[in-house]
Structure 1
Amino acid sequence: MEIVPVIDIRKGAAVRAVAGRRADYRPLATPLSPTSDPPDVARGLMALHPFGALYIADLDAIEGQGNNLAAIVEVAGTIAPARVWLDGGFREARQSGATLPANVDVVLGSETLARVEDAALQEDRSRFILSLDFAETGFLGDPRLLSDVSLWPERVVVMTLARVGVGKGPDLPRLRDIAMRAQGRRVYAAGGVRSLDDLRALEQAGVAGALVATALHDGRLSAATLARMGAK
């Protein structure tokens, strides 16, 4: 099981995400880091466990309110050769890669992607990760992204915003359905992971990995637990 810690950044600080209510996000307080500065948080996470990647959501960029590129570049340098998965609110695949470090992979969120038939996405699927974004009201984005598996790259995140940071557990029925349709692609759960039991349930559902934040910061997924389960 691949575990990818999440850092949400707003106005230069790492923040604690709660149920996708971005207006309510506050600077992150965690025993893993002395500050909410994103590079400090990244160092704390990598000290907890040698993760292969960190997921960064640039909330300002997603909402069209500027970006946090300087902090993201610093995080990428801090954790290299581990990778950064960056959701920067990109509307097109081609706008995403030119100014990013070599160890940054681009997340294209269904919430913000302008065209499902993105030529760059089809040409080089290894560079991109698709995030299928869900609110309480349903899927966010062009319905074809959800229904047409041929549009998916090799890595697909299932982002259930209403379950982020609230301890409800992952959306297993939805994840199981998408994993069954994925035709060998790696599916990652985002939102709701609380414990080792949740990770085992995800594995049984055919999910390759999970994006996790709160359970790492509050110690429910400890260094010992991560090592014991062989987290990547």
Structure 2
Amino acid sequence: MPCALIPVLDLLGGQVVRAVRGDRARYQPIRSVLCEGARPEVVGPALLVAADSDRLYVADLDALTGQAVQLDALAGLLWSLRRDRPTARLWLDAGWPDLVALRDTLARLDAIGPGMAEAIDPVLASEALWPGALGALQDDPLAPRALLSLDRRDGHRLDRAGCWDRPASWPAQLIVMTLERVGADAGPDLATLAEVAARAAPGTRLIGAGGVRDQTDLHAAGAAGASAWLVASALHDGRLGRPRSA
């Protein structure tokens, strides 16, 4: 089965940074063959072109480390996507602990630019969710758009809400995130993907994250059941995707 590329934009202090092994304190501004500089409104559209995708995964690393959501940077990115790729959607992970916080972010973005929230598919991360949040999602109007990220690092689940042990509550789209493989050129974690696939409901869309280096890895991920894989480093280095036009 073909495995699609979903480009990743890691946002820290208003800049796009290169994520390596989930060690967020040491991330540096991105250097990419795709574009100049680290401004999200430049890097985001370039990633979509390189990956031939209409989905862009955005990790707000400020929010994920307990700071405020980067509303201005996200709004600038959304404006640039509206201009260059109007059908594009953001898969946004802003470290929300519950649906109240999620709705607050969406409302604030709509206050900046009406309709911006409609372009966002929220990613609920197991590393950030409080107990009860996943259950509340099931009957919520946002449920059809939402994704759950099952996060782990070095074999340990990042999961204070017990999301990994509640497959009956999993939404139709799951991200399997192995943080120590992010930006590490270590290959995809197909064992964890298989573990999740064995417990997920039939028809669940599985998206892997971390480790994909090249087309061979991408084919292996597809053969293992992934419908898509989140990728950043291999795109910025030119090992995957379309090269920048001259």
Q: Could you tell me the TM-score, scaled by structure 2's length?
A: 0.86
Cα 1:143–1:197 change in 2 (3 A) is: farther
Code of the residue aligned with 1:111 in structure 2: it is E
Partner of 1:86: 92
After TM superposition, give the deviation of residue 117 of structure 1 in Å. Answer: 4.8
Confirm whether residue 218 of structure 1 aligns to residue 237 of structure 2: yes
Partner of 1:198: 217
Deviations 1:70-122 (A, max 9, x none): 11122123223210000001000232133342111111100000124545411
1:114 pairs with 130, 142, 152, which one? 130
2:4 pairs with 2, 5, 20, which one? 2
Code of the residue aligned with 2:29 in structure 1: it is P
**Does the 8 Å CA contact 2:210/2:230 hold for their aligned counterparts?**
yes
Range with bigger deviation, 159-168 or 92-101? 92-101
Unaligned runs of 5+ in 2: 110-115
Deviations 1:106-145 (A, max 9, x none): 1110000012454541114212110001011510013731
After TM superposition, give the deviation of residue 152 of structure 1 in Å. Answer: 0.7
Confirm whether residue 131 of structure 1 aligns to residue 149 of structure 2: yes
Question: Separation in 2 of the partners of 1:153 and 1:60?
Answer: 25
Spell out the pairing of 1:95-174 with structure 2 (5 A cutoff): 95-97=101-103, 98-100=107-109, 101=116, 102-118=118-134, 120-124=136-140, 125-142=143-160, 144-174=162-192
Partner of 1:74: 76
Question: Separation in 1 of the partners of 2:21 and 2:76?
Answer: 27
Confirm whether residue 33 of structure 1 aligns to residue 35 of structure 2: yes
**What SS does the corresponding residue of 1:44 show, helix, strand or coil?**
helix
Code of the residue aligned with 1:107 in structure 2: it is V
Q: CA RMSD in A?
A: 1.6
**Does the 8 Å CA contact 1:179/1:205 hold for their aligned counterparts?**
no
Partner of 1:230: none
After TM superposition, give the deviation of residue 192 of structure 1 in Å. Answer: 0.3
Code of the residue aligned with 2:187 in structure 1: it is G
Unaligned runs of 5+ in 1: 225-232
Cα 1:99–1:127 change in 2 (3 A) is: farther
After TM superposition, give the deviation of residue 46 of structure 1 in Å. Answer: 2.6
Spell out the pairing of 1:172-183 with structure 2 (5 A cutoff): 172-183=190-201
Partner of 2:206: 187
